Structure 1
Amino acid sequence: MLNFNIKSLKIGNLTAKLPIIQGGMGIGISLNNLASAVANEGGIGVISTAGIGMCEKDFSTNYVEANIRALKKEIQKAREKTRGILGVNVMVALSNFADMVKTAIDEGIDIIFSGAGLPLNLPKFLDKTKDTKIVPIVSSGRAANIITKRWLEKYDYLPNAVVVEGPKAGGHLGFSVEQISNPDYALEKILVDVINAIKPYEECYGKTIPVIAAGGIYTGEDIYRFIKLGASGVQMATRFVTTEECDASINFKKAYINCKKEDIGIIKSPVGMPGRAIVNKFLEDVNKGEKKPYKCLFHCIISCNYRKSPYCIAQALINAQKGDLENGFAFAGSNAYRAKEITTVKELISTLKKEYNNALNK
């Protein structure tokens, strides 16, 4: 067995042997299969709640109940496969945010990760009988401070950890188009910013609040670099897509393997945020104005301007997850083009360990 000279990641009373969180990827990219596989390797596996009810027969007619039912199923299936640490990702921007949070807590999920907005009221869903940890995802020290201050003032609760996500992540980004390429907003800079924002709370209350780096982290060397900068762990998503256990279709995974660096670009999403995706014919047609207005079946994202949108982003992502890239597209991090083959989670973790150790011993 490869010796991995790295500290474990402690979030409250939970200890992950590997300081690696598998990022939540909707719609349907990270479900029970991927999350349980990562948890079994000592990391933290995460189920994305965005559009999780996509395979339920009444998804388009009974959106709220279908998602609640599906989330229960996914958590229960994951629990059957692992004794490791499991989390869910619940975006603040979801129209069913409260239902997803309540359901996850009722199912005894270990951790809730929440971003795509400020989860200012997240602690209100907890009660003294629940042991679910809550972790906001932020893109600045200012956001970390606002959330922590509000949680303390209103709920007497400190974040159990904080994830800071930089502009190289896949999917929707918490940055303006100008900020994405601005070195002042690089993960290296905002990580230190968040650590400094959290430090006074740790000192005042005598508690450790781990800060986890995310966005563009791809190799074990990257893990080593960000832990040296002060991160307690990392969150990785893109690299887990091209594993056998990832819940996406093989065509979705092949989109990663076949893409080139120049194929990955920033798109304007119907939800009003920039996003990083693999640009394909579907997105090119959208840019040409060839897509027609549609009827919104879900209104899944609060900020989505569905009356003026050229396409339904939920349906496009569902199509992609199922392998229909002609009628959808794949969100991806900036390093997706580096994927060359399908591997297993076990093999990937072993590779990350080797890469980390090589960086450590340089």
Structure 2
Amino acid sequence: MKQKELQIGNLTLRRPIFQGGMGVGVSLGGLAGAVAAAGGAGAISAAQIGFREPDFDTNTVEANLRAMGKELQKARGRAEGGVVGFNIMVAMQHYADYVKQAVKLGADFIVSGAGLPVDLPEYAAGSNVKLAPIVSTEKSAGVILKYWARKFERVPDFLVIEGPKAGGHLGFTGEQLTSFDEAAYGEEVKRIIAKVREYEARFQKKIPVVLGGGISGMEKAARAFALGADAIQAATRFVTTEECDADPRYKQAYLDAREEDILLIKSPVGLPGRAIRNVFADRVMSGERIAPERCRGCIKGCRPTEIPYCITEALIRAVKGDRENGLLFCGADAWKAERIETVQQVVDDLLG
């Protein structure tokens, strides 16, 4: 299977693959730059991206905005002329500020999920940055396409579909995730793509569709293209690479994971997520409350005095290498990882 290059406006992907955004700190400039250098699109996660900045605890937003610039510059240095952008969650506090910073910095694209990015075009108005919502169902795709068309007289530059086998926060209920039927979801993907094609015809503009979620090998990548996707998105496969920005102990947790170690855990804001079982996950699943050390204002709607744990603290502990006391988000096939690879090897394995 040798897939042709993908054109998104003035952006050219030599290989039709997007690297999924992984926060906190898993997909920064190192990984994103390597994927871009391999011909794909590298995504830097903006989620608490400034966690290594000296003033992160006291000046969180400014630290994050500053780090966005540093990481984009790092990625550009690795992949001159490559395609690099940001993954910015709608659920983040100060969402508009992060979008505007990405625009100011000259990112190639912004991918936005964890909520519907209804106002993304407003925050990026007047720029050439390519905008893409993340959706999981035909209903959510229809809502965002209709809203952008009516309010902004535009459509997404591309659209990302994340299926039930993706990692991190998921756009499904716990029941939907436990009763997942791959064939049935394949039909849902076809309906989403058909909806996108309606708006393509209406606006006379190609809207590439990127499909992600559990794409861990060439066979699953081929199925995504057979369903009608123009490109694939992979995240978990890129964790166990030399270029991934996470601590080596984080990567080793993926290599050591067994299939039965992959579980669903509830985020502090109520969304289900997929993670690797460890001491932290067992404590949370047992109903224990792990009181936050401090609030850094990461997610809208979070109530620090009521949440079972602080997701910022849990993710930072993990990415720094504390594999037992941190939250190890992952995709459904994380247990299949057997060795540390290079980004180029992963791209070639998935796309041929």
TM-score, with structure 2 as normaliser: 0.96
What CA distance in whole angstroms lies between the structure 2 residues aligned with 1:203 and 1:13? 20
SS of corresponding position for 1:333: coil
- Is 1:133 the equivalent of 2:130? yes
- Give the CA deviation at 1:21: 0.2
Out of 67, 77, 82, the position equivalent to 1:80 is 77
Alignment of 1:62-77 (within 5 A): 62-77=59-74
Paired with 1:141 and 1:71, the residues of 2 have a C-alpha distance of 32
Shift of 1:146: 1.2
**Over residues 297-335 of structure 1, what are the superposed CA-to-partner deviations in whole Å (9 max), with x where a residue is unaligned?**
212011334221222111010000000123212100000
Paired residue type of 1:335: D
Which residue pairs with 1:55 in the alignment?
A: 52
Structure 2 unmatched ranges of 5 or more: none
- 1:204 maps to 202
Instruction: Name whichever of 108-117 and 200-209 sits farther off.
Output: 200-209
**Match for residue 144 of structure 2?**
147
Q: How does 1:235-246 map to 2 (within 5 A)?
A: 235-246=233-244
Question: 1:6 and 1:237, CA in 2 relative to 1: closer, same or farther beyond 3 A?
Answer: same
1:96-132 Cα distance to aligned partner (Å, 9 max, x none): 211110011001100100000000000012333x210
Shift of 1:290: 4.1
Is residue 142–residue 197 contact of structure 1 (8 Å, CA) maintained in 2? no
**Equivalent of 1:113 in 102, 111, 114:** 111
Structure 2 match to 1:11: 8
SS at 2:175 equivalent:
helix
CA distance in 1, matches of 2:60, 2:185: 36
Whole-angstrom distance in 2 between the partners of 1:292 and 1:203: 51
In structure 2, the residue matched to 1:101 is 99
The equivalent of 1:42 in structure 2 is 39
Which residue does 2:157 correspond to in 1? 160
**Corresponding residue for residue 192 of structure 1:** 190
Deviation at 1:350, TM superposition (A): 2.6
Taking a change above 3 Å as real, the CA distance of residues 212 and 187 of structure 1, as seen in their structure-2 partners, is: farther
Give 1:287-326 correspondences, 5 Å limit: 287-326=285-324
Identify if the C-alpha distance between structure 1 residues 134 and 337 changes in structure 2 by more than 3 Å, giving closer, same or farther: same
Q: Aligned ranges for residues 232-311 of structure 1 at < 5 Å?
A: 232-311=230-309
RMSD over aligned Cα atoms: 1.5
Distance 1:207 1:315 in 2: 42
- Cα offset for 1:151? 1.1
- The answer to whether the aligner puts 1:349 opposite 2:351 as a matched pair is no
Q: Assess if the C-alpha contact under 8 Å between 1:272 and 1:304 holds in 2.
A: no
Distance 1:308 1:269 in 2: 13
**Share of identical aligned residues, percent?**
49
Deviation at 1:142, TM superposition (A): 1.4
Q: Is the 8 A contact 2:154 2:203 kept in 1?
A: no
1:173 matched residue in structure 2: 170
Structure 1's 93 and 210: CA in aligned 2 closer, same or farther, altered over 3 A? same
Question: Is the 1:187–1:215 contact (alpha carbons within 8 Å) kept by the matching residues of 2?
Answer: no
Cα 1:11–1:287 change in 2 (3 A) is same
Secondary structure of 1:91's aligned partner: coil
2:38 equivalent to 1:32: no
CA distance in 2, matches of 1:337, 1:292: 27
Structure 2 CA distance for partners of 1:337 and 1:103, relative to 1, 3 Å = same
CA distance in 2, matches of 1:219, 1:146: 31
SS in structure 2 of the partner of residue 76 of structure 1 = helix
How far apart, in 2, do the equivalents of 1:98 and 1:73 lie? Answer: 19
Gap regions ≥5 residues in structure 1: 355-362
Equivalent residues of 2:121, 2:131 under 8 A apart: yes
Structure 1 residues 289, 113: closer, same or farther in 2, change over 3 A? same
Distance 1:290 1:98 in 2: 34
Q: C-alpha offsets along residues 186-213 of structure 1, whole Å, 9 cap, x if unaligned?
A: 5423311211211211112221111111
Shift of 1:35: 0.3
Partner of 1:134: helix, strand, or coil?
Answer: strand
Find the residue that maps to 2:274 and give its secondary structure.
Answer: strand
Structure 2 distance, partners of 1:115, 1:257, is: 28
Kindly provide the amino acid, as one letter, of the partner of residue 97 in structure 1: Y
Q: Which amino acid aligns with 1:58?
A: D
Aligned mates of 1:228, 1:122 — CA distance in 2: 30
**With structure 1 as the length reference, what TM-score do the two structures score?**
0.93
